[in-house]
Structure 1
Amino acid sequence: MANRESVDNKFGRKALQVQDAQKRILAYAVRLESETVPLEEAQGRYLAENIAATHPVPAFNRSGMDGYAVVAADTENCREGGTVWLKVVDNIPCGSVPSGAIIPGTAARIMTGAQVPDGADAVVMLEATETRELDGIPHVGIHKPIASGRNITPRGLEISEGESVLPAGRKIAAGDIAVLAAFGIPGVPVIRRPKVAVFATGSELLDVKEPLQPGKIRNSNSPMLEALVREAGGEPVMLGAIADDLDLARGKVQMALETYDLVITTGGVSVGDYDIMGDLVREEAGDMLFNKVAMRPGSVTTAAVRGGKVLLAFSGNPGACFVGFQLFARPAIANMQGAAEPFLPEWTVILGADYAKVNNYTRFVRARLEVRDGSVYAHPAVIDESSAMVTIKDSDCLIIVPPEERGLAAGTKVRVIRLP
C-alpha cells in the first residue's frame, strides 16, 4: 500500500468516484448545434426540438372495416327480428372522399380505412348485410341493430392537432420515422454528430496490416474505439498511433483539440517511465478534470479540458479501454447530441456464477446475459483482467461490484449496465 501511495503522490493522483468523474466530463461535453437532415437519414440521430402534430390522427372519421356506413338509429327496427332496407347512395373506396352526407334511410358502401361520410355514425360489417335492387336502385339489408360509433375510428383518437408526439433529445428509431413521415416532415431537426478524434500511443504498437514482431502487439484499441464512437452516434476521425514521444503527442493532441469536438487517446496514462499522456496532462494541471478513478479496470483513466474541449485518455489495456469508453466517452458523445438520457440503462439481474474477486474500488465486470425460466442472469467472464481482450466480444453487460462486497455468490441480485 505504501508503494502505491507514493506513486499516487508522485503523479498527483487522487481517486475520484465514477459518478463524480462523469459529472465533470458532462459539464464540458455540451450540446452541439442543430442541423436539418432528410427523413431517410434521420434514424439513429437525436431530435433537436419537440415535434408536435400538424393535424389530428386520424385526420377524419375512419372506417374500421369493409361494410356500409349508416345512421345507427335506422337499425333500431331490427330488434324485432326484421330487416331494415337502406338506399345505397355512395361507394367510398379507401383514399376517396364521400360525395355527400348520409341521411336517415340511406347508406354508403365503404372500405376499410376510408373516410366515413358526414351523418353516418356506424359501419355495419359486410358479412352482416345482404343487397338487392328496388326499382333499379341498390339497397342494403341490415339484420341486427348497431350502436352509434361502432366500427369507426374517430378523428383525433390517436393524436390531437398540436399535441407533442416526439420530444427533443429522443433518439430516432423506426417508429419515429413513421410518425415524422405521417406528419409530412421531410427535413428533420437533429443535433450535429460530434467529430471524435482517436489515436493511440505506444512504441509497441503495430498496424493491423503488419506482421507480428517480437515484443510488439497489433493496435486493436483504435479500431475498437472507432466502432464504439460510431455506435454512440459520433463521427470517428482516426489519427493513427504514435510512438512514446511527448513532443509528438503534444502537437497531435493540440491539433485535435483545435479541430474536433472530442479527443480520445488510448495508452500512456499509467505510471511508467514512458506513459506520455499522463505527463502531457500534468503539464497544465489547472485543466485536468481527474487522473484517477475509483474503479477497476481503468483506474488510471484521465480527463482534461483545453479550450473548452474534452480530452479523454484511456488505458492501453483493451478491457480497461472498453469499460472506460462505456462509462465516460459514450455519455459524453450522447450529451453532445442532446440525448435525453446519456447513460446506458442499468438493470437488476441474478448473478449466474460465483464471483470471488475482492477490490477496494468498484469493479465493472464484463459479463453475458441469459434469460432462463423467466429470469435474467448475468454470467461474469472467466477472464476479466484489464489486459484481456477476447472476452469483450462475448460481453453484453457490465456487472457492478461495489467495493464493500467481499465476493458474491451465484443467485445474488446484482446491478448491471446493459451494453448496446
Structure 2
Amino acid sequence: MNASDQHHKFHRKALQVADAQRLIANYIKPGTIELIKLQDSHGRYLAEDVSAPHPFPRFRRSGMDGYAVKSADTVDCSSSHMVWLEVIDEVPCGSVSHKSIISGTAARIMTGAAVPDGADAVVMLEVVEVRSEGGKDLVGLKRPIEDGKNVTPIGLELQEGDSILRKGSRIDAGEISVLATFGVHQVKVYAKPRIAIFSTGSELLAIDAPLEPGKIRNSNTYMVASQVIKAGGEPFILEAVMDDLELARIKVEKALEEYDAVVTSGGVSVGDYDIMGDLVRSENVDMLYNKIAMRPGSVTTAAVKNGKLLFALSGNPGACFVGFELFVRPSIQGMMESPEPYLKEWTAILDQDYTKVNGFTRYVRGRIEVREGLVYAVPAAIDESSVMVTIKDSECLIVIPPAKQTTPAGTKVKIVLLKENV
C-alpha cells in the first residue's frame, strides 16, 4: 500500500448520522411488484393505494337485538302508557326484509341485520314486553326512542372512494380485515428485498464448528439475517470471506449483481487485514462514506455500484447491530416505500448517570421503564462495541450527544425504539 493510500485509510471524514441517512436515501428505489393472495400478505408492504369500492356499511345496520320501529310511534309512550306495535316480520343477520315498517308496526331484528325500510330506530330487546293477541304478535314500548338510535347508517366508516390503505403500508391483522371486508382477495405488494450477507475475517468459525484457539463463531451473520427479516427483507447468507482483498472484491461484485443490496460485517477498520475498508476505496465501487460521527460503529461504511448499495458494518456485534438499525433497515424499508422507514423516536429521562465522554454522539443500548407516567431510559450495564449479550435485552438506543463530562441522571434524552410494544 502506497503512502497516499495510507493517508486516505487513516484520515476519514466523519458524517453525521442524519447526513449519512440522507445520502443513502438518494440511492433507494422501489423494488419489483408481485400479486399475492390476501392470506399470504401478512407482514408485506402494499405496492398500490387501495380505495373503498363501496360504502361501509353498505346498508343500515342494527346495533343490537331488538325491534325496528318508527321513532314517531314512541313519542307518547311511558311506563304508565305503553304503546303496542304489531310485529310484522323477523330479520335475522344475512336476510333482508321485504316489508316496510309503517306506523303501528315493528319488526324483530338481530344485531348486524339490515334495518327494514320505514324504520328509523331499534329498541333494545331488554326494555320491551311482548304478547299475542287476536293471532297477532305485539311488542310493547315503555319509553320514547329517538330517530337513528341503535342504527348504524350507510357509509358510517367509509364512503365509496375513500382511501382504505396507502402504498407502502405494512399489512397486519387490521389491514387484512379491512381488505377482506371489501372483497380484496389479491393484493399487489413489493417483493421482499433480497439482501446478501457475509462476514469477513480469518478468525471466524461456522456456528456448528468446535471452538479453536483465537477464533470466534460467526454470530454477526445470523444476527443481521434476523434484522433483515424484521425489516421486511429476505436474507441470503453467503460464505464468510477470509482476509483476502481480491476474493472479497469478487464476492461483493457478484453479490451486487444477484441481490438488491449487500451487507458485510467486519473488515472496515484501519488494520492491515481490514479488507472491506480497502475495497470501498478502490475503483470497483463508489464509496459514499467510511466514517460516521457516532459510537459504536464509527467505521460503518457504505458504497454503491450500478445503483445498488453495499453496507460494510463493523465486526463488533454491538456496532454491527446499531449500524444495521440506523442505515440498512431504513434502506430495506425504502425499497418497499414504507412511509416510516426510520425507527421511531421518543423523548425519555435518563435513569442514571452516563459517565463516558466522547466527541461523537453515542447510541447506548438500553431498556425503557414507565414510572408515574414518565418514560425512563435505563442504559445497559455493559455497552461496549464488542459486547453482544446486551443486544437481546435492548428495547431502545439512548442517544447521548457529544459531551466532555458526565451526562447526569434526569437529563432528557432522545431514544430510538428497537422493539414494538415496549
Interval of TM-score (by shorter of Structure 1 and Structure 2): over 0.9
Preserved contact between residue 77 and residue 143 of structure 2 (Cα < 8 Å): yes
TM-fit CA distance, 1:78:
1.2
Aligned to 1:276: 275
1:240-287 deviations in whole A, cap 9, x for unaligned? 211101111111001100000010000111000011111111112871
Aligned to 1:222: 221
Amino acid across the alignment from 1:24: L
Structure 1 CA distance, aligned partners of 2:7 and 2:223?
29
Aligned to 1:300: 299
Preserved contact between residue 21 and residue 327 of structure 2 (Cα < 8 Å): yes
Preserved contact between residue 317 and residue 388 of structure 2 (Cα < 8 Å): yes
Aligned to 2:77: 78
What aligned pairs does 1:16-415 form with structure 2 within 5 A after superposition? 16-79=15-78, 81-284=80-283, 287-404=286-403, 406-415=405-414
- Choose 128-137 or 260-269, whichever is displaced more: 128-137
Q: Flag as ranges the 4+ runs of structure 1 deviating above 3 A.
A: 6-12
Structure 1 CA distance, aligned partners of 2:129 and 2:258?
75
Structure 2 CA distance, aligned partners of 1:122 and 1:10?
78
Unaligned runs of 5+ in 2: none
- Choose 69-78 or 80-89, whichever is displaced more: 80-89
Question: Please, what TM-score do these two structures have when normalized by structure 1?
Answer: 0.96
Question: Please, what TM-score do these two structures have when normalized by structure 2?
Answer: 0.95
Preserved contact between residue 198 and residue 264 of structure 2 (Cα < 8 Å): yes
TM-fit CA distance, 1:325:
0.3
TM-fit CA distance, 1:10:
4.1
Structure 1 CA distance, aligned partners of 2:19 and 2:284?
18
CA change 1:130–1:249 in 2 (3 A) is: same
In the comparison of the two structures, how many residue pairs are matched? 415
Structure 1 CA distance, aligned partners of 2:307 and 2:114?
56
CA change 1:285–1:21 in 2 (3 A) is: farther
1:335-394 deviations in whole A, cap 9, x for unaligned? 011100100000001111110101111111111111222222111112111111111111
CA change 1:236–1:84 in 2 (3 A) is: same
Preserved contact between residue 79 and residue 143 of structure 2 (Cα < 8 Å): no
Aligned to 2:416: 417
Aligned to 1:3: none
TM-fit CA distance, 1:77:
2.7
Q: SS where residue 300 of structure 1 aligns? A: coil
TM-fit CA distance, 1:119:
0.4
TM-fit CA distance, 1:99:
2.0
Structure 1 CA distance, aligned partners of 2:9 and 2:345?
36
Structure 2 CA distance, aligned partners of 1:226 and 1:256?
15
Q: CA RMSD in A?
A: 1.5
TM-fit CA distance, 1:299:
0.8
Structure 2 CA distance, aligned partners of 1:261 and 1:361?
31
- Choose 80-89 or 221-230, whichever is displaced more: 80-89
TM-fit CA distance, 1:81:
3.2
Structure 2 CA distance, aligned partners of 1:174 and 1:167?
16
Structure 1 CA distance, aligned partners of 2:285 and 2:258?
22
TM-fit CA distance, 1:7:
6.7
TM-fit CA distance, 1:79:
4.9
Q: SS where residue 383 of structure 1 aligns? A: coil
Q: SS where residue 22 of structure 1 aligns? A: helix
TM-fit CA distance, 1:140:
1.3
Structure 2 CA distance, aligned partners of 1:169 and 1:90?
48
Preserved contact between residue 285 and residue 305 of structure 2 (Cα < 8 Å): no
Preserved contact between residue 81 and residue 144 of structure 1 (Cα < 8 Å): no
Structure 2 CA distance, aligned partners of 1:273 and 1:65?
75
Structure 1 CA distance, aligned partners of 2:49 and 2:148?
33
1:66-116 deviations in whole A, cap 9, x for unaligned? 111011111123159312121111100111111221111111010111100
- Choose 305-314 or 140-149, whichever is displaced more: 140-149
Preserved contact between residue 196 and residue 236 of structure 1 (Cα < 8 Å): yes
Q: SS where residue 391 of structure 1 aligns? A: helix
Structure 1 CA distance, aligned partners of 2:141 and 2:147?
15
TM-fit CA distance, 1:48:
1.2
- Choose 381-390 or 308-317, whichever is displaced more: 381-390
Q: SS where residue 229 of structure 1 aligns? A: helix
Q: SS where residue 392 of structure 1 aligns? A: helix
- Choose 112-121 or 184-193, whichever is displaced more: 184-193
TM-fit CA distance, 1:9:
4.1
Structure 1 CA distance, aligned partners of 2:127 and 2:315?
73
Q: SS where residue 78 of structure 1 aligns? A: coil
Unaligned runs of 5+ in 1: 1-5
Structure 1 CA distance, aligned partners of 2:387 and 2:273?
21
Amino acid across the alignment from 2:24: I
- Choose 324-333 or 71-80, whichever is displaced more: 71-80
